[in-house]
Structure 1
Amino acid sequence: MSGLETALEPVFTWLTANPAWAGAFIGLIAFAESLALVGLLVPGAFLMFLAGAAVGGSNIDILPMLAWAVVGAVAGDSLSYWLGRHFRDQLRDFPVVRRYPGALARAEGLFHRHGGKSVVIGRFVGPVRPVIPAVVGMLGMPPGRFLVANVSSALAWAPAYLLPGVVFGASLVLAMEVMGRLMAWLVLAFGGFFLLRWLIPRIDRPLRLAGHRLARAVGRHPPPGQWGEWLRPLHAALRALRHRQGWLWWLAFVVFLGTLAEALWTPGPQGWERGLLALAEAQRGDLPRRFAWIITQAGGLLPVSLATLTLVAALWRAGEVRRAGFAVLGVASAVLVAYVLKALLGTPRPNGLTATAEFAAAFPSAHAAGIAALVTVWLTVLPPRARVLRWLLLLPGGLLIALVAATRLLLGVHWPLDVIGGLALGIVLGALPAVAGGVRSPVRRRDESVVLSAGILVATAGIAQMLNWPDPIDTYPEPVGSGLPAVVATDSPLATQRLGLRGPADAFVAQWQAGEQVPAGFEPEWQPAPPWRWQTALRWISPRPSAARLPVLPRWHDGRRPDVVLIRVGDDPRRRWVLRAWRAAVTPDGPIWLLTLERDDIRPGVLLPRLRRHEPSPDELAALLGPASQRAGLVRLPGPVPRYRSSSDASAASPQGGTNP
């Protein structure tokens, strides 16, 4: 330990015991550094570096510290913006501004050259950093535009100013080792952000131009006559390609057709669906299950139906008869088509729920289709002038759709493609009021109708939850409990292949029946892998990677991370064996561990190390597991996955016993 680290050790120890004070201190620095006038006097960049060094040396969780920094920076710039809008030109007469006249002039020049982007640029430019928010407020930048620029720039500014200090405080040697690459990654991140901002309008413009040409080709009005009425929705959908919303509608339509084709050609779940569902089910304890059940009520048939009828009645009373008809048709058709497809396809649900009386087939999810259709109808019936209400509805409405969709997975009643197909179906049919040409009706109190419908949805979902009707919680799969392995018979069959997030993956190399907390016999040749912390994670960008110092990349089996991860490094410091062990079951003879083995070859790369994984050969398996089984007193029994058991248990199970590999 260096002299500097020794001197700062008491400070690091106190911060480890009082992390809340560290967060408040960082938030105060960020606030003062971003505040108009005050930031001219505060050495904010240096203080943020010191605060980051204290956090890195104290092993404090960095995410709350970054959150404190973002909140402080947003609050400081917001107050500066308010001062600029309130005092206007009087700001020039403040004593501190008169002391630094060049900062105000440079900030005004930056705003005139770059407009709203000056808030983002000014966040990282020294003298104008605490002045630019006040200047844009003084010059009349709209509050909404400033808020977006303020928050987005703060999200980038906090790690850029805090992480170098964290790296320095974590280890002086590590700081010197990874600083260059860390700055390269930050430059790439900022470059990618500005490239995306430059690229999106240039992609959007040709698409909208193509949509305009298509709209002119199909004509301003649908064909006359009876057939024209039937073609009106298709005609309106083609003309909608002039707008971004039209492209989104067609994207949802393509997604629905893709999921429907997948459900027709492959009725069973895909491997990645099984992996994601296993991950969701692993989190289904008592509290998450109840919370998910409460949220999923918002997509139930009763709340969605009452909210739709309320919207229709309000629109009808306001004179929006045509739009009311399209609204009820959009939601009703989404739910009806979902149930018709369920009956026709008969896709089985997870956990054998299709065989029960409470659940129909799986594809598509009627809950996802219903809530997506209702929220889409809300957005389509709002008048064009209600932009603020549209955004206020879009954010919580989109969050509600995502939560209901996620709860169907967490509750274990749908596969992921069922949910995706239901969401796409709801968006396609919920946009019927706009697509079918119902936008020409006069604007009358549509915003109040939407707010009333949303209130009825929330109230009805709450009542359904309190009454436990018509969707009782008892019909859903039981919680998985604490995640501990079940008690099974000694010779019960266990998994032969790891179920990862992308589906079945590596085959298990052994079932190891020895060791309570760690598979027995692997010490002292094997050692625990470095844990995932900020200090160890930064080693992945080191130009000189070492296999013994890098944390192991995560793997899942049946929704669980391995209980034990061990590594073995030989003569080559860039090569290691990785042993992952899942505690799979408990038997009267002891716990059974499922083991996977792989060899990692790690070589230097441009910005990240190059990692190659190799499966062990039979000879390598024998060389790795043989000594460990001998130390643990185990013998190998044949099977789809070799089982290693104690010699006495193996002799009792088989008169001929077993042999080591």
Structure 2
Amino acid sequence: MSVSDFIDPILSFIANNPSLAGLICFLAAMGEALFIIGLFVPTTVVLVGAGTLVGLGKLDPVPLFIWTTLGATAGDAISYWIGYTFKDKIKRMWPLNKYAHMIESGEKFFQQHGGKSVFIGRFVPGVKSVVPGIAGMAGMNFTRFSVVNVTSAFAWTIAHMGPGIIAGSALGAIGQISGRLAFVLGALLVVIFLIVMLGRWLILIILPLFPNTHAMIVSWFAKRDDRVSRWIAQNFDPAHPRSTGMLASALLLLISMPAFFWIMGEVAPGEPMVRADLAILNLFDSLRTPVGDKIMVFMTTLGDGVVVTGVTVAVAAYLFGRKAWRRGIGFVIAMAGTAMFVPLIKLLLHRSRPIELYAGADAYSFPSGHATLNAVLFGICAVLIAHDLKRWAKAGIFTVFATYVITIGFSRIYLGAHWMSDVLAGLLFGTAMVSAFAFVFGPIHNEKIGRATLAWIVVVTLAAFGGWHLSTSFDKALLTYEPRTNKEVMTASSWREYGWISVPARRIELNGDREEPLVIQYAGSLRRFADISEKDGWHLPPKWSLTTAGGFVEGETPPDSLPILPRSQNGHQPDLVLIRKDPGKDKSGRWVLRLWPSQYEVLEGGRLQPLYVGSVVHEDIVRPLGEFSGPRTDIHAPPLADNPATHIPGSVIRTRSDGTEVVLGFAEDKTGQP
């Protein structure tokens, strides 16, 4: 079952219900324009997603555009009415009084730009949800407001849906080359976007709800007599211009460093995270494509040591050239300390890489040097460039640098150069180092650094060293990171006698948890297995579609009419799924068989046959209130009579130490086809 089998029902439902999609876009656009409430509405997610569906050809752009424009217009009109009706009372109303600073920012914005602020403000983060209300509070003429409202809503809709349409068209084109590549790129974009959205909500929504907490903590330290408490009270005083940044840096340091050491303890042999690492590695290995490999090799090459060294030297030279001695020394210490820390931990843990790449300490895996060094380098550059800028400018700069670093880390997992935990640990340690640098050197105000100049130095040096390194090593890197088959071969006799013990005994989820036992080991043709099982009532399940998915919301759907929910084994999707309905009219369940590929091959008669592992579980169809049909696994291992592998000629039964029985079967397709 492919990824598209799960996505197609959702896309089909939206495509077949365009009025519902339009209503959702209307409500989202209106919600973001509502006074203050717009902070809580993730309109960008909805509209960019809708635009992506337009680009994929799943939605008609014209009605969607009209619905979105009307929603944005209605939201601003309601905000105008709220401001016109309540005037200055708004500042004292809960919970609006928690966001008084935003209302003040909106008032300043309106005073600066006048009536055109309604148009401009719709595109400015932080004030777009308050400007229409401010216009009403200021008594702006309604007719004039309406004209600006409609025209700005029109332009705003284009600006929000346009990127989605372009992205959808691009993903559609990529999907023609490879659906797997489209899935990988889409997943990466979703992860980055969620991180940005969560950060935005934390800054704009959560923090303003606790305005006095900061002052209370500082007041408590101020009452104490010791020197450390007085230093904390002085530097973290809300009146201190950099206290918020220092507080955020301290919190990040206190979170990221313990998290790093927690992951370090979780990568010991036998821990669930180790199994999760392997499952995720297998998942990405199954999604690799030639085009995707080139993109990820491009990114991982930009994160190589020679590029990092070039940018580091350029930034250090600039800082010392500007006589920013303390920041320059701090930067060099952070980079040098990280460069020594990474190989030290590698030598301490001796964790093997998924593939052999380097020699010496770099031959080991934990933590990822690419993720760690790039996180420290570009994180500190972001701190220096964003220093003393406004909040949204800082957010933009950190977003750009974080996206770049996360993509490099993602490339290491995709290419199989590192385990997922290696990259997570590297990003966490890098975050801790950047937080420490910001905490120590953030309060410095007498070392002037040209932010634009430093940004250009980073970009130009990265382009120069990265371009040179790519031109000399890209083709070699493609060969280094090419997909590798790690199949282990057993003879049929050794497999039946003792080799079966080395095959996984339980299904492993992506999170590393062990689930139901694997009661089948089968070598041979899947077609032959399906033909043999068909004689005992086993057949292919219905495919996912709008009709079959609708069966879950009907209370009388037969068990064999419901599609099968996805389950992975060690990161792999099943290559064969069969179902068999319970015999008898009083039964309401079904048996589900799944066969997944394993890392083994069996040699028989001079031919290699892939070895599959399988589970057979029983699902009871639960019908709450008689209105829904939901499968619930109630038997995780079948009796031998319900295991179709026993019908394979020459099959043998083995018993594991935990008492579960596994059936070993071999059946080559007589036609010679797989």
2:483 pairs with 479, 489, 495, which one?
479
Is the alpha carbon distance of 1:297 and 1:358 closer, same or farther for their aligned partners in structure 2, counting shifts above 3 Å?
A: farther
* Deviates further, 467-476 or 507-516: 467-476
> 1: distance between equivalents of 2:532 and 2:260?
53
SS at match of 2:592: strand
1:200 pairs with 195, 203, 206, which one?
206
Provide the residue aligned with 2:559 in structure 1: 547
> 2: distance between equivalents of 1:62 and 1:609?
34
Counterpart amino acid of residue 614 in structure 1:
D
* Structure 1 residues not aligned, in runs of 5+: 1-14, 37-59, 82-101, 119-134, 159-194, 650-661
Counterpart amino acid of residue 538 in structure 2:
W
Residue 218 of structure 2 corresponds to residue 212 of structure 1: yes
Provide the residue aligned with 1:93 in structure 2: none
* Structure 2 residues not aligned, in runs of 5+: 1-10, 31-52, 97-114, 130-155, 165-200, 657-661
SS at match of 1:363: coil
> 2: distance between equivalents of 1:70 and 1:461?
45
Provide the residue aligned with 1:582 in structure 2: 596
1:643 pairs with 664, 668, 671, which one?
664
Provide the residue aligned with 1:378 in structure 2: 381
Provide the residue aligned with 1:109 in structure 2: 81
Question: Does the 8 Å contact 2:338/2:372 carry over to 1?
Answer: yes
Provide the residue aligned with 1:519 in structure 2: 530
Provide the residue aligned with 1:10 in structure 2: none
Q: Any residues of structure 2 matched to 1:449-488 within 5 Å, and which?
A: 449-468=454-473, 472-476=477-481, 478-480=482-484
SS at match of 1:553: coil
> 2: distance between equivalents of 1:470 and 1:330?
32
> 2: distance between equivalents of 1:141 and 1:583?
55
SS at match of 1:520: helix
Question: Does the 8 Å contact 2:330/2:437 carry over to 1?
Answer: yes
Is the alpha carbon distance of 1:30 and 1:595 closer, same or farther for their aligned partners in structure 2, counting shifts above 3 Å?
A: closer
Is the alpha carbon distance of 1:302 and 1:541 closer, same or farther for their aligned partners in structure 2, counting shifts above 3 Å?
A: farther
SS at match of 1:384: coil
Q: Could you give the per-residue CA deviations for residues 612-652 of structure 1, whole angstroms, max 9, x where no partner exists?
A: 323455xx4322236x754x645435476421246999xxx
Counterpart amino acid of residue 274 in structure 2:
Q
1:623 pairs with 619, 636, 641, which one?
641
Question: Does the 8 Å contact 2:347/2:361 carry over to 1?
Answer: no
Q: CA deviation at 1:297?
A: 2.2
Residue 545 of structure 2 corresponds to residue 565 of structure 1: no
Q: Any residues of structure 2 matched to 1:147-226 within 5 Å, and which?
A: 200-201=206-207, 205=211, 208-209=214-215, 211-213=217-219, 216=222
SS at match of 2:378: helix
TM-score calculated relative to the size of structure 1: 0.63
> 2: distance between equivalents of 1:74 and 1:319?
57
Provide the residue aligned with 1:255 in structure 2: 259
Question: Does the 8 Å contact 1:514/1:520 carry over to 2?
Answer: no
Provide the residue aligned with 1:55 in structure 2: none
Question: Does the 8 Å contact 1:548/1:573 carry over to 2?
Answer: no
Q: Any residues of structure 2 matched to 1:321-336 within 5 Å, and which?
A: 321-336=325-340
Provide the residue aligned with 1:92 in structure 2: none
State the percentage of identical aligned residues.
19
> 2: distance between equivalents of 1:610 and 1:293?
43
SS at match of 1:436: helix
Residue 609 of structure 2 corresponds to residue 601 of structure 1: no
* Deviates further, 381-390 or 367-376: 381-390
> 1: distance between equivalents of 2:354 and 2:25?
50
Residue 632 of structure 2 corresponds to residue 612 of structure 1: yes
Question: Does the 8 Å contact 2:382/2:401 carry over to 1?
Answer: no
Is the alpha carbon distance of 1:196 and 1:559 closer, same or farther for their aligned partners in structure 2, counting shifts above 3 Å?
A: same
Residue 378 of structure 2 corresponds to residue 366 of structure 1: no
Residue 452 of structure 2 corresponds to residue 447 of structure 1: yes
> 1: distance between equivalents of 2:63 and 2:346?
47
Question: Does the 8 Å contact 2:267/2:274 carry over to 1?
Answer: no
SS at match of 2:125: helix
SS at match of 1:65: coil
Residue 549 of structure 2 corresponds to residue 528 of structure 1: no
> 2: distance between equivalents of 1:613 and 1:551?
14
Question: Does the 8 Å contact 1:543/1:604 carry over to 2?
Answer: yes
> 1: distance between equivalents of 2:545 and 2:669?
42
> 1: distance between equivalents of 2:18 and 2:526?
43
SS at match of 1:350: coil
> 2: distance between equivalents of 1:487 and 1:428?
45
SS at match of 2:563: coil
> 2: distance between equivalents of 1:598 and 1:136?
65
2:510 pairs with 501, 505, 529, which one?
501
> 1: distance between equivalents of 2:455 and 2:75?
48
SS at match of 2:567: coil
Q: CA deviation at 1:578?
A: 0.6
> 2: distance between equivalents of 1:379 and 1:62?
34
Provide the residue aligned with 2:121 in structure 1: 141
Q: Could you give the per-residue CA deviations for residues 521-551 of structure 1, whole angstroms, max 9, x where no partner exists?
A: 2225122222233443454455556533332
Q: CA deviation at 1:403?
A: 1.3
> 2: distance between equivalents of 1:639 and 1:363?
37
Is the alpha carbon distance of 1:343 and 1:644 closer, same or farther for their aligned partners in structure 2, counting shifts above 3 Å?
A: closer
Question: Does the 8 Å contact 2:597/2:612 carry over to 1?
Answer: yes
Counterpart amino acid of residue 564 in structure 1:
L
Q: Could you give the per-residue CA deviations for residues 387-412 of structure 1, whole angstroms, max 9, x where no partner exists?
A: 55433322221111211111221222
Q: CA deviation at 1:337?
A: 1.4
TM-score calculated relative to the size of structure 2: 0.62
> 1: distance between equivalents of 2:354 and 2:669?
41
Q: CA deviation at 1:598?
A: 0.5
Is the alpha carbon distance of 1:320 and 1:103 closer, same or farther for their aligned partners in structure 2, counting shifts above 3 Å?
A: closer
Q: CA deviation at 1:30?
A: 10
Q: CA deviation at 1:600?
A: 1.1
